[in-house]
Amino acid sequence: ALCAASAMARVAVADTIYLTDGRKLEGTAIEHGDTVTLQTPIGSMDFPKAKVLRIEKGLSPTAEYPLRLKKLGASPALDQRLALARWCKEKKIFKEMRAEYEAVMALDPDHIEAREALGYVQQDGRWMTRDEAMTAQGFVRYKNEWIPKAEKERREAEDRVHVLLMKAVGHDAKV
């Protein structure tokens, strides 16, 4: 139980360390001896204390988000949700950002910033996903790229010929 609480504390804390070279880094700062270890989601880094100007203790954006959301009250206005969505984007907490932009769209289905942040484009006067827009323009997905349907058919025919040629010379070929 203590280990779980310790792990949760690490997730919720976002310390900021300021280094003598001008860098500013966020994570969980742990001081030990002449060293400061900064733990982040992608790993940890050690710095000599002499290279650390100061350490500011704080909450991580993920831990701060529900507090900010609660402050908005039971029925937040569009501008409040939009401000929170922008804050989430700035802090790179994308799941929460998505939820806030969706809340903005619930209040204003044609809100341009929210739609664009969620990957929508406007085509022929209506909002659609980028995939829907590409399909509407006659493009199809082929090997992870959008190409015209005729080009896909040409490439598939080329691939079939390649496989037949490889088999003819005795090689196993896969497309």
pLDDT in tens, 125-160: 899 999 999 999 999 999 999 999 999 999 999 989
Q: Is the pLDDT reported for residue 54 higher than 90? A: yes
Q: Is the pLDDT reported for residue 26 higher than 90? A: no
Cut 0.75: pTM above it: no
Helices 78-91 and 94-107: crossing angle in degrees, nearest 10, is 160
- The top-scoring range by mean pLDDT among 41-55, 100-114, 157-171 is 100-114
**Beta strand extents in 8-152 (DSSP E only):** 15-19, 24-32, 35-40, 43-48, 52-56, 120-123, 126-129, 139-142, 145-148
Reference 19, options 63, 68, 54; nearest CA is 54
What does the pLDDT read at residue 87?
97
% the chain with pLDDT above 70 = 90
Looking up tokens 């206005």 gives: 77
How confident is residue 174, by pLDDT bands cut at 50, 70 and 90? low
How confident is residue 13, by pLDDT bands cut at 50, 70 and 90? low
Q: Is the pLDDT reported for residue 11 higher than 80? A: no
The more confidently predicted of residues 114 and 2 is 114
How far apart are the C-alpha atoms of 16 and 3, rounded to whole Å?
Answer: 23
Q: Is the pLDDT reported for residue 162 higher than 50? A: yes
Q: Is the pLDDT reported for residue 59 higher than 80? A: yes
